[in-house]
Structure 1
């Protein structure tokens, strides 16, 4: 097959309401003035898919949205970027998920996230069709507990169809972390940040893992990759004027998977793509507004 290889992304798609400024609530009916508020595309899987499309990768998303204004806005934004949304199921009467991102001023990129799952947990195993995908990336399993009970089988089926697999767990709101243990047996690349990796180790979930590679997101420091099938490598992030770190880890994932799709074989270069894509995404509000296209990313390599 010539050209970039197709990727299937599986997981959450929702709207993000990003609030910046004085966002730490003071109850007692105190009114606070914000610096900015933006409604943008959200959901780890959706942001990864959007980033891949921006980087010239044929990408299809499997997710569930409601038949409401947020659902329509979500699918419209994905299609506008070039994402194949034929795998996005619209649930009649469902409310599309919503995350409220509280981004305080002057905290070095720290933030709090309040999430209404909405239709996100409605994803079913039969929503996932590998078809021609050569890579299947799964995101946010802890937001979809019923689906995650079958995630091991979904990933095993993808592998049996000839695809490689990756997983970005994101944070476990219940802080148990064990629900993905069996699925890790069928993951080729695990893509956590430092806090998530520490929690997975502490829970014992990684004891179930097979011979996977860990591609670690390390914030402003960039990323690193380690595994049994090659050397440990690292790449720095870029120095940019940070506006909002929402979705930066998802753009990091997109950069790494885009490098794979475009035929980059050197692991250090793949991590460099990831670190650059994640860094550039922080220049605007939300997870997708500043995602680079392929020409821009390559100009920073």
Structure 2
């Protein structure tokens, strides 16, 4: 096959600002500790993490023909990720960009969507599905056109025995709607705690996970510094994160995704896969941005560390 994993979703630069990042209006000038322009977008960071872990990785994303688009293309090429931009999305909108205000233990994200919402379900063709062992979709709520037909995309993937996974990320509208049909044909759902509660409308994490597992999907929870947890029909397992000197948590959840996918596509069972994911998420926080400190495969195997 052409790809071990085809990642579908957003790709854009992130401008990560660290230090005194709480804005004070009134034309006050504030001095920062650091500013880094790095590759961002949940899909792009996940794709970069998958490639670092040895997977043949494609990224289907809408990227503009501008300076930010050139930056995205260069970073992906450095890691060996093949970027696929649909013809209809070429040069229609500027490449999206996010500004990350990164404070210890938390962050705020300001995003210009730009070309990001231009992806359509039809862009995930039957040919691409047949050329991929697994399809992972990210940042769904930034892409309403893709969301409308994603259930059909995943149904086509399932009919081809191609695995599927979904990381919705946060819903800026706060509605969290339109997921029931998609999750019914999703093999793996990868939320954080707030997203899992919002999607399920349950009172606690265990109830939320049980509800979604009963509907047919494996739930893999990204639980920050605590690590991760996985629920599947008839079982659950948890794995701790690693203790590291944290520089920036941007994209840690996307590196978590990559660790999980690399483990599963390498034949690991779910408990070991969530352990790989927790380690990958932890290690990715060692540098600014989401991709600079992403681990290699040996770093995720305890006997090799």
> What TM-score comes out, normalization by structure 2 length?
0.91
Moved more, 205-214 or 193-202: 205-214
| Local SS of the residue matching 1:137 | strand
> Are 2:275 and 1:277 aligned?
no
Q: Is the 8 A contact 2:213 2:231 kept in 1?
A: no
Q: CA deviation at 1:207?
A: 6.8
Q: Classify the secondary structure of the residue corresponding to 1:156.
A: helix
Aligned to 2:115: 119
Q: Distance in 2 between matches of 1:77 and 1:62?
A: 15
**What's the offset of the Cα at 1:290?**
0.2
How many residues are matched? 294
Match of 1:211 in 2: 216
Aligned equivalents of 2:232, 2:139: Cα separation in 1 = 22
SS of match in other structure, 2:196: helix
After the TM superposition, list the runs of 4 or more consecutive aligned residues in structure 1 that deviate by more than 4 angstroms. Answer: 87-90, 203-209
CA drift of 1:86 comes to 3.4
Aligned to 1:61: 59
- The root-mean-square deviation of aligned C-alpha atoms, in Å, is 2.1
Q: 215, 220, 242: which is aligned to 1:238?
A: 242
d(CA) in 1 for partners of 2:118 and 2:202? 26
TM-score (norm 1): 0.92
1:298 aligned residue: 301
Aligned-residue offset at 1:37: 0.5
1:173 aligns with 2:172: yes
Distance (whole Å) between structure 1 residues aligned to residue 214 and residue 291 of structure 2? 31
The one of 223, 227, 239 aligned to 1:222: 227
Cα shift at 1:87:
4.9
Superposed CA offset, 1:234-272 (max 9, x none):
1000000000000000000000000012221x2111011
Tell me which residue corresponds to 2:22: 24
SS at match of 2:129: coil
Aligned to 1:258: 262
Task: Identify unmatched segments of 5+ residues in structure 1.
Answer: none
Q: Is the 8 A contact 1:23 1:34 kept in 2?
A: yes
Segments of 5+ residues of structure 2 without an aligned counterpart are none
The yes-or-no answer on 1:10 pairing with 2:45 is: no
Deviations 1:178-224 (A, max 9, x none): 12222111101110000000111228996797311100000000000
